Amino acid sequence: MSSDLQDLYQEVVLEHSKRPRNFRAVPDANRQAEGYNPLCGDQLSVTVHMEGDVIRDIGFQGQGCAISRASASLMTGAVKDRTLAEAVALFEQVHALVTEGPSAVDVESLGKLAVLSGVSEFPARVKCASLAWHTLRAALEGRSTSVSTE
């Protein structure tokens, strides 16, 4: 396998895509949004339970490729118990990581999310990696309309 493919489909990515974490609807959600990628038909929903300013619980459901599932799964782990502002800041970091590559961000601070760095070598797959994040942002901002990557 070529090295950029190895970077894209890292062990952690494959593992999260096969066994996604928090793959469920949060029962007492008070924020939620739908995300849709019209290019490929992928769709997912993100449900969040906020306590004040803090994301106490988060889940996602839907269908998508390995990259979008892994990104969504990793996202749920990364933003749980974070404040809204921290989650939005993380969104910006991940967006920079998948569009511009690891040199654009402080990779250390991203923890497990750093495995998404391989995406930047695959411009056609950036939308897969960012769908869950756009959806989360819409949920946090209380936008009820579904978000689209187009």
Partner 1 sequence: MSTPGFDVRRVRADFPILHQEVRGRPLVYLDSAATGQKPQAVIDALTRFYTHDNANVHRGVHILSERATQAYEDARESVRRFINARDAKEIVFMRGTTEAINLVASTYGRKHVGPGDEVLISAMEHHSNIVPWQMVCDAVGAKLRVIPVDDRGELRMDAVDALLTERTRILAVTHVSNALGTVNPVRELVRRAHAKNIPVLLDGAQAVTHLPVDVQDLGCDFYAFSGHKLFGPTGIGVLYGRLDVLEAMPPYQGGGDMILSVTMEKTVYNRVPHRFEAGTPDMAGAVGLAAAIHYLESVGMAAIAAHDQALLTYATQALSAVPGLSLVGTASEKTGVLSFTLADVHPHDVGTILDREGVCIRTGHHCAQPLMKRFGVAATARASLAFYNTPEDVDALVRGLHKVREVFQ
Pick 41 or 52: Cβ nearer partner 1: 41
Nearer to partner 1, 29 or 66 (CB): 66
Q: Choose between 17 and 22: whose C-beta lies nearer to partner 1.
A: 17
Residue 108 or 124: which CB sits closer to partner 1? 124
- In this complex, which beta carbon is closest to partner 1, that of residue 1 or of residue 108? 1
Angle in degrees, 0-180, between the axes of helices 66-79 and 11-18, rounded to the nearest 10: 90
Burial class of residue 46, CB neighbours in 10 A (0-12, 13-18, 19+):
buried
**What are all long-range contacts of 105-110, with beta carbons under 8 Å and residues at least 24 apart?**
none
Query: Rule CB under 8 A: which residues touch partner 1?
Result: 1-2, 4-5, 8-9, 14, 39-43, 63-67, 122, 124-125, 128
Closest by CA to 58, choosing from 100, 96, 25, 102, is 25
SS3 93: helix
Give the nearest distance from C-beta 148 to partner 1 in angstroms.
14
Q: What is the nearest approach in angstroms of partner 1 to the Cβ of residue 113?
A: 19
Nearest-angstrom CA–CA distance, 30 and 11 = 34
Least CB distance from residue 41 to partner 1, whole Å?
Answer: 4
Tell me the closest approach of the beta carbon of residue 28 to partner 1, in angstroms.
29
Compute the least distance from the CB of residue 65 to partner 1, in Å. Answer: 4
- Sheet of 147-148, strands arranged across: 54-63, 42-51, 31-37, 147-148
